[in-house]
Structures are given as C-alpha cells and as structure tokens.
Structure 1
Amino acid sequence: MTSETHEAFGRVGIWSSALHGSRTDGAGGQAIAEAVTELEELGYGTLWIGGSPSVEDAAAVVAATRTVTVATGILSIWDHSAEEVAARIAAIESAARGRFVLGLGVSHSPMVPQYTKPYSAMVAYLDALDAATPPVEPGHRVLAALGPKMLRLASGRTLGAHPYLVTAEHTAEARTALGPGALLAPELSVVLDTDVDRARTTARNMLAMYLQLPNYTANLLRLGFAESDFDDGGSIRLLDALFALGDAERVEARTREYLDAGADHVALQVLTAEEGGGGLPRAEWRELAGMFTGRL
C-alpha cells in the first residue's frame, strides 16, 4: 500500500450502520450530517457506512464532509448492478474529489435468494466495474474478503480487503494472503463498558445474528473455534477474540493487536446497550478519539 493511501485511510476509522443518509427523514439526516462532521473534526481517517449500504447512503456522508475518506461497508453485489453503481459514483465525484471508496461483498446465502457461485459473481462484477463508463478504478474499491481465495482476488483486483467480524489472528493470515502492498482494514466491534458481564451481553446481542450466517461461522471454524463456541450467543473465548470490551485503554490495546498483526487501518464499530447496539454513539466516539489523539 502506498504512503498516500495509508494517509487517506488513517490508522483508525469509524464503522456504523446508522450512517445511512438516504434512509432517514429530515431530522435523521441532519443528525447524521452533524455526527459525521464531528467525526471528521475528531480526526478519524475513514467513515465506513455499514449494513449493506447503497451509494446514495454514502452520498449524504460525502456531502456533509470535506476531507475524510468515506467507504461502503459493505455494498452487496446482488442488490445493485455494477453499471448502476459506477454511474452513481460518478455523480458524487464532484463532492467526493477522490475520497469515496466502494466496499463490495457477496453477502450471505440465507439473505440472498439468487446467491450462487460467489467468487465467480464477484469476478464478473469487478469486470463490469472495469468496463463501465466511467470505470470504478481498482484503487477506489475494496472487498469484504474472509477466505484465502477472496483475499487474493482483493489483492489483485482492488485496493485491498475490509474483513468483518474477524480476530487478530485472522488479520495476520489475511496479511500473508494479501501480500505487503494491499490495504488491510478489518472491522473491530467495541463495547465501552467496564462492567464485564454487561459488556458481554451487549456483544452477544449483536453477535447472535451473525452466528446464523455460514460465511462467518465457517471462517471462525477455520480459525480454530468449535461449534460449541457459537452456543448461547457466543462463548467467552469467542467474545474476547472478536470484540474490544472495557474502557478506552482496552480498546486501544485491542486495536494495537490488529495493527501489529498486519492491519493498515482498523474500523471501530461502537455498540451500546442503551441503543440496542446501534444509533449514533457520539459520546463514545469522542472518548475513543481522545485515546487515539495523535494516532488517528
């Protein structure tokens, strides 16, 4: 990865499914605009719009910011044609000025009726992005890659990989699969709560849905977890490997584990018990920014 790309992404970013700018009413849109403006001022390098966003969701965040990188985390290739995506990216480029990155993924078979041959489908989608007018260049797209085959595709055809729900050990394996030059930007879920039992409950509330999706469970099994680790919302061993639970210092230490394992950038998803794991946790984002001051 070039030094210019590293600088554009920063070492730490924010991942949030609450940043869907086109899915809210006027008041909700204003709240998102204020939140992303503050995130940019706090110094976060990249804002990841989570939860199968569209380019329209990203457009609202791009419009409300000036310098921060904005990325989809992750747009499903089954929901939007490559030609449609390329046209919509071209439409926001005057505001983005190169800041927008298209994060792509193949989603999951239980969620997509037409799901078939995901690797081949992604190759065809990338081919279509290359052929679009104007094209979406490899340097402005990343893949939600978990396994070795998709990671190699990410390295060869895109800027790199944005793995979701992974451990620091997976990050080390992903770095090897990607090679030294590709971007590696894993997501890390965070619960800022020093009550360990309550933090684990918040984490399990988020994790339960993902443990129903075979792409994630298969990846975790590859990493050495057992089926029993998926029971009751996740074992303590699984939670401790996938989440940063505790105070801001603990989050910083866990983030450092991913960076030391080979990540270039870590996208922090802050979960809160009061908001059911979602919402716009601006107080927590401020607290973490204070911990990462000088390192964002």
Structure 2
Amino acid sequence: MTSEKQARFGRVGIWSPALHTADPDRRSDVAEAVAELDELGYGTIWIGGSPSVDQVVPILEASRRITVATGILSIWQHPAGEVARQVAELEKDTPGRFVLGLGVSHDALTPQYARPYSAMVGYLDALDTAPDPLPAERRVLAALGPKMLKLAAGRSLGAHPYLVTAEHTAQARSALGPEALLAPELKVVLDDDLDRARTVARDTLATYLQLPNYTNNLLRLGFTDDDFLGGGSIRLLDALFALGNAETVHARVDAYREAGADHVALQVLTGDRHHDLPRAQWRTLASAFSLG
C-alpha cells in the first residue's frame, strides 16, 4: 500500500450495516460505537446495507479522523447529480474523510435492474458532469467481474469487492493493476467453537447464495453448485469467512493482503447482523492488529 492509501484507509477497517439506522433510540449507541472505532485506530468505517449519503452525516459527526465509506450505495436508488451535491456538502465540513462506494446491487433486489455495466458507466459520467463533480479519487466500485474491475481502475480510486476469497483478490489485483485501491470485505466470526461459528456463517451466507452476481463469481473461482447446498460447504465457508480466534482472523487478513489487497474491511458477525454492534469483538481485533 502506498503511504497515501495507508494514511487514508489503514490496513483494516470495520464493515457494518448496523451503523446506519433510522431508529432514534439507537443513534446514541451508534455514535458511541463509531467514536470508539475511531479511537481504536481502525482506518475506515464501511457503512453496509446500501446507505444513502445523508446517513453518513452522523457517522462523520461522531468521529474525528477515520475515513468513512458507503459499502455500498446503489446507483438505482440515488440520482447521480443529487449524490454529487450531497458529497460536495460533506466535503465542506469534513474534507477528505468520505469515500463514495458505488454498486449495481442485484436483479432480485432492484426492479429497474438492467445492463448493469452500462448503467454504471452512465452513472460515473453523470458524477463527472454534475454541477458539483465527484472526482474519481473520491469513489470506489463494488466490482467482482473483470469488466467492472477494469472500470473501477479507470474511473475510480479502485474496488471494494464483497463476499470474495483471497484467490479472487489476486485476480482482482491483476485486473486492477498495481496502483488502484483494492479493499475486499471479509466476514469474521470470533468463536473457537467451529460448529457454532459455521452455523452463524451459514445463516449469513444463505441470503447471498440466492443472488446470481455472487454465485456466478464463486463458480468462476472453481466452486460448484454442490458447495451452495445446505447454506454452504465447509470448503466454501473456509474460503469466504475467518472463523475462530483473533489470530486466525489476522492470518486470513494476511492472506488477502499477500494476494494484493491494500485494505481489508472486517464484518464481524454474531448472529444479529443488522442490529448488533459487536464492540467487544472490535476491541479484540484492534488489539490483535496492534492498532491505535
């Protein structure tokens, strides 16, 4: 990682869909969790669950130095001109701290889904020509396949692939070239009981195995339809998750970085994916990576 990327993103970050919420009763808990992630020394907070730009504001307000990124904003739900305007407003108050993660979502989740690659090209064109243009170095793409990865290298800071293996990371680095940011997400279950950890992993994976964008990518990596049965084979779970103690997680992150990742976004799973703020586990991992 270049010194600029290191300073901006850090070696590891936290990916969580629970950090944006419409529930006013949870906002103070989220703000406290964000402030702690900042203090712990993580490089980036990735706000999962298709957040909007306005949902980023409380995260930036609750922190002081950490990079905040959307992981990811769906191009179908938010007009490019409005997004560019909102990001320009964020830049006035918190310069250099926000990165827009963009993605094409999935056919099953988006009624207007069509020609995703062309749609992304058009969206990037609209960001470039908006009254408040959003520069390429302020955005990343949730790219999986070769075409979208090359687009990420040419039209953005780089790629934020989701639900990928270390082998995919090596292929992505080859497609992106040496300079583009590569920041894959990695799911983590901190539990020495592997049977219990695999149950949490399978419960999480079940939804993604219904989405062809992910299964097609896994098939390209050499997995088969049999690996998708029963919530995922052990071979598939071991490739997509870090299951076990903090040392296991550290080793898995090292594998992704050796494959070409600049930064790894850790999604800690406990079985309550959309509402849990696993602050004890975040502290454990910060200590394991000697952050702060």
**Bucket of the pairwise TM-score, normalised by the shorter protein:** over 0.9
Residue deviations 1:233-273, cap 9 Å, x none?
00000000000000000000001000010000000000003
Secondary structure of 2:243 counterpart: strand
Asked whether the equivalents of residues 117 and 148 of structure 2 are also in contact (C-alpha less than 8 Å), the reply is yes
Secondary structure of 2:202 counterpart: helix
Asked whether the equivalents of residues 18 and 273 of structure 2 are also in contact (C-alpha less than 8 Å), the reply is no
Cross-structure match for 1:158:
156
Separation in structure 2 between the aligned mates of residue 68 and residue 281 of structure 1, nearest angstrom: 18
Separation in structure 1 between the aligned mates of residue 274 and residue 229 of structure 2, nearest angstrom: 20
Residues 201 and 126 of structure 1: is their aligned pair in 2 closer, same or farther, counting only changes over 3 Å?
same
Asked whether the equivalents of residues 19 and 57 of structure 1 are also in contact (C-alpha less than 8 Å), the reply is no
Q: TM-score, normalised by structure 1?
A: 0.96
Separation in structure 1 between the aligned mates of residue 99 and residue 126 of structure 2, nearest angstrom: 17
Cross-structure match for 2:9:
9
Separation in structure 1 between the aligned mates of residue 33 and residue 274 of structure 2, nearest angstrom: 17
Cross-structure match for 1:290:
287
CA-atom RMSD in angstroms? 1.2
Cross-structure match for 2:23:
24
Residues 276 and 131 of structure 1: is their aligned pair in 2 closer, same or farther, counting only changes over 3 Å?
closer
Separation in structure 2 between the aligned mates of residue 293 and residue 262 of structure 1, nearest angstrom: 21
Secondary structure of 1:189 counterpart: strand
Separation in structure 1 between the aligned mates of residue 104 and residue 18 of structure 2, nearest angstrom: 21
Secondary structure of 1:146 counterpart: coil
Unaligned runs of 5+ in 1: none
Residue deviations 1:125-180, cap 9 Å, x none?
00000011211110000000000000000000000000000000000000000000
Separation in structure 2 between the aligned mates of residue 263 and residue 100 of structure 1, nearest angstrom: 20
Cross-structure match for 1:222:
220
Please report how far the alpha carbon of residue 102 of structure 1 lies from its aligned counterpart in structure 2 after TM superposition: 0.2
Separation in structure 1 between the aligned mates of residue 52 and residue 186 of structure 2, nearest angstrom: 22
Separation in structure 2 between the aligned mates of residue 157 and residue 167 of structure 1, nearest angstrom: 24
Count, aligned residues: 292
From 240, 248, 254, give the equivalent of 2:246.
248
Separation in structure 2 between the aligned mates of residue 200 and residue 163 of structure 1, nearest angstrom: 22
Please report how far the alpha carbon of residue 277 of structure 1 lies from its aligned counterpart in structure 2 after TM superposition: 6.8
Separation in structure 1 between the aligned mates of residue 270 and residue 248 of structure 2, nearest angstrom: 16
Separation in structure 1 between the aligned mates of residue 93 and residue 37 of structure 2, nearest angstrom: 18
Asked whether the equivalents of residues 270 and 277 of structure 1 are also in contact (C-alpha less than 8 Å), the reply is no
Separation in structure 2 between the aligned mates of residue 207 and residue 54 of structure 1, nearest angstrom: 24
From 258, 265, 278, give the equivalent of 1:281.
278
Asked whether the equivalents of residues 192 and 245 of structure 1 are also in contact (C-alpha less than 8 Å), the reply is yes
Unaligned runs of 5+ in 2: none
Residue deviations 1:173-210, cap 9 Å, x none?
00000000000000000000000000000000100000
Asked whether the equivalents of residues 271 and 278 of structure 1 are also in contact (C-alpha less than 8 Å), the reply is no
Separation in structure 1 between the aligned mates of residue 96 and residue 122 of structure 2, nearest angstrom: 24
Asked whether the equivalents of residues 244 and 251 of structure 1 are also in contact (C-alpha less than 8 Å), the reply is yes
Please report how far the alpha carbon of residue 6 of structure 1 lies from its aligned counterpart in structure 2 after TM superposition: 2.6
Give the partner amino acid of 2:287. Answer: G
Identity among equivalent positions (%) equals 67
Please report how far the alpha carbon of residue 7 of structure 1 lies from its aligned counterpart in structure 2 after TM superposition: 1.6
Separation in structure 1 between the aligned mates of residue 275 and residue 29 of structure 2, nearest angstrom: 14
Q: TM-score, normalised by structure 2?
A: 0.98
Residue deviations 1:17-46, cap 9 Å, x none?
00114x221x31111111010000000000
